[in-house]
Amino acid sequence: MLWTLFVLILTVLLVLYKYLTRNFKYWQKKGVHFVKPTFLVGNIGSLLTFKKSIGTFLGDLYLNTDADIIGIWIFNTPHLVLKNVDIIKSVLVKDFNHFAFHGVCNDEKADPVFSRMLFASEPTYWKAMRVHLTPLFSSGKLKNMIPLINTVGDDMERYLLSKCELHSGKMRATLELNEVCAKFTTDVITSCAFGMNAKSFEHEDAEFRKVGRKMFDFTIGNALRGISYFFIPCLPRILKFTFFQPDVNEFCREAFWYVVNEREKSGLTRNDLIDTLIKMKNGESLNEFKFGDTVVAQAMQFFAAGFETTSSTITFALYELAINPQLQTEVRKEINQVFLENPAITYESLMETPLLDKVIKETLRKYPALPFLNRECIKDYKIPNTDVIIEKGTPIQIPMFGIHYDPNYFPNPHIFDPERFSEENSKEIPQCAYIPFGDGPHNCIGARLGLIMTKVGLLYVLRRFEVKANQNTPVPLNFDPKSFVLQVKGGISIDLLLD
């Protein structure tokens, strides 16, 4: 009896082992260079133990492997990591139709909001929605948003001045950079997307700021949600859990519908996202979209994607200027010249800061907010100039952190050098070697707005304050391995000195 039970258990374990490793010969059979997988976890043991973030894991893989394409496994699923920029260009741009999906879970029953966001949507829905949202980011609409952003900039300036105290004959404040920048971008996004004043600079526990923290601060729940939606999409489908915490979804729903109802009652128009979505809701622009969470999803994506990525870019730019004081002096000289000629920040004046432009571009190279891109092959694809066929359903990973630190494209990549993006030097950077907003038809729809927000935020800080490293400023930075987006472990302490 015991012998029979032992044989039965052993048989079950062997069958289970075979099942869980059934794909482990996949890349070998295709003749693709691969990293040997480990039982159960594939190649992501360091992610599951929070020793590395997904961006760092893929970046290290890129920088330590010579092959143009690299096969890995996330659990039992084969993924293909791309290193060659010509192949990346084919995937993102030339043959985009083969990869027109991010491959994340988009099950409407699990999460009716996330599944309808532009980022998570399937190709047919994405194409229709993108067409109707693109006009929101036209030059004319962006110009109209400048006064709204300036209003928040004034609030930030008053907040920073209120924090200053006299030390050694100088008015100064010691602040955690990311929190200040997140307050700024939260208020900008809520103003532009929801038509509301989030009042993050007035109240430390402002509701939208608390929601922003819930979206991106580390918790075991957030980590499991992120890993599942990106890498185990069957799990949310089975267990029916949402991408963000349920109360985050509910808060955004209530805020959105409150603004929509008030806007429709008053008849007020601001030519903003809310007006665009109201037209969609009322069937004026496209009657095939479902009423309800479809329009909520676009406002929520606008908020989630906008405030975190832009705040981190402003944070890292100020950090680099603090530890490169000579560069900061040159940038502030350029900024002061612009304000001398025109005290008000306008769309046109933003075009008159070429050095600041280069600083922002270099910041996005060193610190891409989302340090990897993901796609899914939606129909079989033969990689140009190879015999490798990427099969339908194969997830694709593009290690932005690796590409941006490749010395073949960016010599001495750990050095902060804005001159990489001078007019002359920019011509030497191959397409898809610099992709902070992605590339091709699926690139970030709000990239131009994000750049404007970043520049205005930097202008408001640097025109009045010198940023300076203090004894608690981390050098070098230690990125948080628990975060999907690029965040610094423990934050960045910095001093602001009032001129």
Span 83-96, mean pLDDT? 96
Query: What pLDDT is attached to residue 199?
Result: 94
Span 120-142, mean pLDDT? 86
Span 278-284, mean pLDDT? 67
pLDDT classification of 302: cutoffs 50, 70, 90? confident
Two tokens, residue 201: 């600079």
Mean pLDDT taken over the chain: 89
Question: What is the amino acid identity at position 306?
Answer: G
Check residues 11 and 126 and name the one with the higher pLDDT. Answer: 126
Query: What pLDDT is attached to residue 290?
Result: 56
Give the whole-angstrom CA distance, residue 87 versus residue 153: 42
Sign of the Cα torsion 403, 406, 409, 411 reads: positive
- Domains in the chain, start-ordered, CATH in brackets? 84-368+404-498 (1.10.630.10)
Q: CA-CA distances (angstroms) from residue 227 to 53, 104, 155, 401?
A: 11, 10, 37, 19
Query: What pLDDT is attached to residue 70?
Result: 97
Q: DSSP readout, 350-413?
A: HTT-HHHHHHHHHHHHHS-SS--EEEE-SS-EEPTTSS-EEPTT-EEEE-HHHHTT-TTTSSST
- This model's pTM is above 0.95: no
Give the whole-angstrom CA distance, residue 46 versus residue 263: 49
Q: Tell me: the pLDDT tens digits for 331-374?
A: 999 999 888 777 788 888 888 999 999 999 999 999 998 899 99
Check residues 281 and 426 and name the one with the higher pLDDT. Answer: 426
Q: Tell me: the pLDDT tens digits for 36-53?
A: 999 989 999 998 888 998
Q: By mean pLDDT, which of 55-64, 108-117, 167-176, 418-427 is the weakest?
A: 167-176
Q: Tell me: the pLDDT tens digits for 442-483?
A: 999 999 999 999 999 999 999 999 999 999 999 999 888 888
Yes or no: say if 366 and 404 are a contact pair by the CB < 8 Å rule: yes
User: Does residue 291 have a pLDDT over 70?
Assistant: no
Yes or no: say if 256 and 280 are a contact pair by the CB < 8 Å rule: no
Q: Tell me: the pLDDT tens digits for 210-267?
A: 998 888 887 888 888 888 898 888 889 999 999 999 999 999 888 888 888 888 888 7
Give the whole-angstrom CA distance, residue 55 versus residue 368: 10
Kindly give, in sequence order, each residue whose CB lies less than 8 Å from that of residue 446, ignoring residues fewer than 6 positions away.
137, 302, 305, 306
Q: Tell me: the pLDDT tens digits for 317-328?
A: 999 999 999 999
Residue carrying structure tokens 């929601």:
211
